[in-house]
Amino acid sequence: DAGVIQSPRHEVTEMGQEVTLRCKPISGHDYLFWYRQTMMRGLELLIYFNNNVPIDDSGMPEDRFSAKMPNASFSTLKIQPSEPRDSAVYFCASSLRQGLLAGGRPDTQYFGPGTRLTVL
Amino acid sequence: LAKTTQPISMDSYEGQEVNITCSHNNIATNDYITWYQQFPSQGPRFIIQGYKTKVTNEVASLFIPADRKSSTLSLPRVSLSDTAVYYCLVAQGKGYSSASKIIFGSGTRLSIRP
């Protein structure tokens, strides 16, 4: 299995530009997560999907951020317009199941390599 | 949500056993304790998970006392390649949509020296 795939690995853009990050979860996984990691705030959960449906987006910082999952094998995280404070490493993760379907325990999350975003 | 507290950093030497303790005083009945490891420029990777007593796998052991208010990750005979950040998570196990309760704290930065 190729694991979780993210693209691009690095993105440098200018303030005000639109940025789209892409993720391909592990085949067969029902859950997909988007995280953001910075030195100041650590690893933050932004949003997660279950069977392609957004379940909790309470971690999305602003309306400039949006995420979609058009099918089970692809998700995007879009920032429009981007700002310098959005500079961070963005991780995508997937897991097979959660909660009751996982025997009542949090299931293992498999992380991608991340996208390092720099907004100038 | 159960908050976790870990040491910010630890140092050790190759061949030593390293124990990283995590405090979670308000852990709930349905919470599980999970540890992840993160190397530089990589995403976190699952190490071990437990609910009570002791859990052991090929990588580490997890010790959880009876009151479950803390847990200790034990890495036997560490090597330079164990240098990483280690995260302790306390997450709800019950409920269909419990994933949002998974919170990564600041982690412990472990440095292994020759």
Mutate to test the interface with A, among B102, B106, B108 (most CBs of A within 10 A): B102
Please check whether residue B36 is in contact with residue B46, taking contact to mean a CB–CB distance below 8 angstroms.
Answer: yes
- Kindly give the confidence (pLDDT) of every residue in chain B, 114 residues in length, as a single tens digit, with 9 standing for 90 and above: 567 899 999 999 999 999 999 999 988 888 889 999 999 989 999 999 999 999 999 999 999 999 999 999 999 999 999 999 999 988 765 544 545 566 777 899 999 999
Option in B43, B51, B101 nearest A111 (CB): B43
Percent of chain A with pLDDT over 70: 93
Structure tokens at B61: 């052991």
pLDDT the model gives residue B29: 84
Option in B42, B49, B103 nearest A105 (CB): B49
Q: Identify residues of B whose CB sits under 8 angstroms from chain A CBs.
A: 30, 32, 34, 41-46, 49, 51, 87, 89, 91-107
Pairing verdict, β B70-75 and B18-23 = antiparallel
Please give, rounded to a whole number of angstroms, the shortest distance from the CA of B17 to a CA of chain A.
25
pLDDT the model gives residue A72: 94
Structure tokens at B60: 């580490």
Cβ-based neighbours of A102, under 8 Å, separated by 6 or more = A96, B93
Residue A106, Cβ density class (10 Å: 0-12 exposed, 13-18 middle, ≥19 buried): buried
The owner of tokens 């124990």 is B19
Give phi and psi for B46, each to the nearest 5.
-60, 135
Q: Does residue A15 surpass a pLDDT of 80?
A: yes
Answer yes or no: do B99 and A113 touch at CB < 8 A.
Answer: no
pLDDT in tens, A64-82: 999 999 999 999 999 999 9
Q: Identify residues of A whose CB sits under 8 angstroms from chain B CBs.
A: 4, 31, 33, 35, 42-45, 48, 50, 55-56, 58-59, 91, 93, 95, 98-102, 104-106, 108-114
Q: How far is CA B98 from CA B46, B65, B88, B106, B108, in A?
A: 18, 24, 17, 21, 25
Q: A60: number of CA atoms within 13 Å, CB side?
A: 20
